[in-house]
Chains A and B, each alone.
Chain A
Amino acid sequence: MTTRRTNPKVDAVIVGFGWAGSLMAAELSRANMNVVAIDRGPWRDTFPDTPLTADPDELRWKTRRELLAPPHDTTLTMRNTLDQTAVPQRDFGISELGGGVGGQGFQWAGMAWRFNPWDFRVRSETIERYGMARAEDGELQLQDWGITYAELEPDYDRWEQIAGVAGQAGNLRGKLTSRGNPFEGPRSREYPTPKLKTLRMMEIFNKATSEMGLHPFTIPCANVSQAYVNPLGVTMAPCTYCGFCSSYGCGNYSKASPQTCVFPALLNNNPNFRLITNACVTRVNKAADGKSVTGVTYIDQNGSEVLQPADIICLTAFQMENVRLMLLSGIGKPYDPLTSEGVVGRNFSFQTVSGADLWFEEDHINPFIGAGGLGSQIDDYNSDNFDHSSLDFIGGAGILTLSRDGTPIANANKLPPGTPRWGSGFKRAYSNYYQNYGVLFNQGTSMPIKRGYLDLDPTYKDPFGLPLLRLTYDYARNDRAMATFTMNRAIQIGKRMGASQFSAFNFAEKPFTTAIGASNHTIGGAVMGADPTSSAVNSYLQSWDCHNVFVVGASAFPNNGGYNPTGTVGALALRAARAICGNYARKPGALQKG
């Protein structure tokens, strides 16, 4: 660090410019605040990075993962239990961090969910329905979110409008229909664009699950189904089902991303906004009173240390980095896993995944036709949609099949058990089963445990010499039981679908590891709630300790739903922005009483 300089003070600084950061920046600058966003990665956009002529490239984007931040620059360490020494995650694993502006939102798949109303009140609902012993089993650490689904509904709605989400309502203002998901929370209006087409794997799944009396529906996705103009005035084009979607950009302006849906409105001739790229924030600077902060410190691309003063600081650097920055800056009391006291690092959760690989005979799945978020799902075994009285767990999983990912390098691993992995036997099998492979993926809830948490690693450092985040975690007994239960449901469904061969999988039957990518949905560590002794932020994602810090991302979820997280991240970002523009700007201070 050679020199040190100070930028002019602004109203708000946004740390990390992915979905959460760009949404907050857009809403704050619309309210005439003077905003600076700082991102560790370089500028990145459809042009020049992933135009139509460069996007359909499996090796570059999906195998070599050129859009992700390399572990070399940012990674974590892990262990399962407190008595172990954590080891660094050296290669890409469960964390697939954004490598440029737009964050992961540039190369995400686009499954665009709302959580189930139950997910926000797991603790209260479990006690009410199944008794205290189920909620307090000695291992779990359940706590409510401090808001309800109904309170968040308007923000979910606005997020979906911004992203152009394609879908079909299953619960319109309380009126249920089986054309959508009848288990979803009540929606105030239809999805902004109609659901996508039903492709071959979905047909097979829909038929089998309907015959079994279950309720299949098309997964809502941010791969828009028709030409669309969002509320920020940005235009999107219909998805072409190109299939180079999850882990890729979109050359077609069809996949919702910060670039496609937010940047044009924010960056074009906007005197209220400035973006600083290739700049890594290393610390939030606390004020002398300890109750507020004065700005952030970042290291620019020349290695110089720069101060960015601001009245409001929004941490939107993704779940993990949000938590790390809080720990590095001393904002909020670090969590102690032995006493369950403290809030920063608390309630890490993941995504509990099981399912089954399926193989058919003589079909033409045409897996190359698809979109990142396209698939069918049943929610009959998700959340608390089924009675758990006689079961020994809470929660469940969305059981889904996908119409995507027909790319040939990755799928060479998707062959029936016992098939040769090389030689002529491999070539024969792959020639046959490339067209006949499908998956049932159970995207399960994840419940936090007392001994699962995040803190700073005592040994390993990042390239700036700052400690890596250390994750201590293993699946809860509850979640293992859930994963086995839903795996068995997947096997039944797979049989009914007519699979000639199947191979069930359950990531939770072994100890948790960051090296094997069951999911990239890491959750918690700066969770929201109504009680400052068990949450780091209030229901507006405002730090209880420093009132001008807002911590936005999946870091705020006290537990994970059986869904992908980004819809809920988007809704919470919009809610936080609303609170800042409305109440906080007028009267800075705590927005809620602890």
Chain B
Amino acid sequence: MDDEDVRTLKAVFDRLIPEDQFGPSASKVGCLDFLDAQLTGGYGEASTLYREGPEQPHEEQMLQKAQFIAIPRERYRAGLQALRAYILETDGASFADLPPSRQDEILAGMEQGTIKLGMALNTGAFFELMLTNVREGYFADPYYGGNKDMAGWKMIGFPGARYDYRAYTDRTGQKLNLVPVSLVPKN
């Protein structure tokens, strides 16, 4: 990923999880660092996928779900490249420099299938990949580089990596105000 890709991704992530009264933005809590670490590791290489051929034209239809042999690292590269080319053509600019309302319009189009970034790219699936990963970064343990200050957990009221709730099992239906804890003491 080059600087322009990172700039685009930061802008996308911060529209998917923007800064507002509910909590900080995706990039503020480290979701880009999170993604970087994930793509460098086994996840980025799809080390768990069965990638043997032949690829059948009807795989997706039979399984009712998008199928990939391409690894996430490649999918990001191809997806961001296609996004860059698309915006250059439609708006003559970079995604990161567009006004938020236009950015949202493009993202919604990708999500709903009204925008196709290119023939070779499953645009909806690329959108889902980014949404999945930004949420992971926002809600995974801070150990993985995102969810700084456990902001994602504080937003919804998840107490984190606790291991014993026996003191609370009888207090059903009550607000417990538990302070979240992380696997790592400092983050």
Taking Cβ atoms with an 8 Å cutoff, the residues of A that contact B are 52-59, 63-65, 70-72, 75, 78-80, 84-93, 197-200, 203, 238, 240-244, 251-252, 363-366, 368-369, 406-409, 412, 421-424, 426-428, 430-431, 434-435, 459-461, 510-511, 513-516
Q: Determine whether the beta carbon of A513 is less than 8 Å from that of B163.
A: no
Which chain B positions have C-beta within 8 A of A240? 163-166
B5 interfacial by beta-carbon distance below 8 Å: no
CB distance from A203 to the nearest CB of B (A): 6
Q: Determine whether the beta carbon of A251 is less than 8 Å from that of B62.
A: no
**Complex Cα spacing A426 to B26, Å:** 13
Which chain B positions have C-beta within 8 A of A53? 183
Residue of B58, B65, B144 ringed by the most chain A CB atoms within 10 A: B65
Q: Determine whether the beta carbon of A64 is less than 8 Å from that of B43.
A: yes
Give which listed residue, B16, B68, B157, contacts A422 with CB less than 8 A.
B16
B104 interfacial by beta-carbon distance below 8 Å: yes
Given contacts A59-B144, A242-B165, contact A89 B63 (CB under 8 A): yes
Residue of B104, B164, B165 ringed by the most chain A CB atoms within 10 A: B165
Which chain B positions have C-beta within 8 A of A244? 163
Q: Determine whether the beta carbon of A79 is less than 8 Å from that of B62.
A: yes
Q: Determine whether the beta carbon of B155 is less than 8 Å from that of A421.
A: no
Which chain B positions have C-beta within 8 A of A422? 15-17, 107, 111, 131
Q: Mark B90-121, 1 if CB is under 8 A from A, else 0.
A: 00000000000000100100010000000000
Q: Determine whether the beta carbon of B165 is less than 8 Å from that of A369.
A: yes
Would you call the interface of chain A mostly helix, strand, loop, or mixed?
loop
Taking Cβ atoms with an 8 Å cutoff, the residues of B that contact A are 15-18, 20, 22-23, 43, 47-52, 54, 56, 58-59, 62-65, 67-69, 104, 107, 111, 131, 135-136, 139-141, 143-144, 152-153, 155-166, 168-170, 172-176, 183
**Complex Cα spacing A538 to B42, Å:** 44
Q: Determine whether the beta carbon of B157 is less than 8 Å from that of A59.
A: no
Q: Determine whether the beta carbon of A368 is less than 8 Å from that of B155.
A: no
Return the 7 tightest CB-CB contacts between A and B, nearest first.
Answer: A70-B48, A434-B156, A515-B63, A56-B161, A59-B140, A408-B139, A427-B22
CB distance from A48 to the nearest CB of B (A): 15
Q: Determine whether the beta carbon of B58 is less than 8 Å from that of A87.
A: yes
Which chain A positions have C-beta within 8 A of B156? 408, 430-431, 434-435
CB distance from A411 to the nearest CB of B (A): 8
Give which listed residue, B22, B52, B158, contacts A406 with CB less than 8 A.
B158
**Complex Cα spacing A172 to B54, Å:** 56
Q: Determine whether the beta carbon of A57 is less than 8 Å from that of B17.
A: no
User: What are 23 of the A-B contact pairs (CB < 8 Å)?
Assistant: A56-B141, A58-B141, A71-B49, A72-B51, A90-B69, A91-B48, A92-B48, A203-B172, A240-B164, A240-B165, A368-B165, A409-B135, A409-B136, A409-B139, A421-B111, A427-B18, A431-B155, A434-B156, A434-B158, A435-B156, A461-B52, A510-B64, A513-B63
CB distance from A235 to the nearest CB of B (A): 18
Q: Determine whether the beta carbon of A515 is less than 8 Å from that of B65.
A: yes
Q: Determine whether the beta carbon of A78 is less than 8 Å from that of B170.
A: no
Q: Determine whether the beta carbon of B140 is less than 8 Å from that of A427.
A: no
Residue of B nearest to A242 (CB): B163
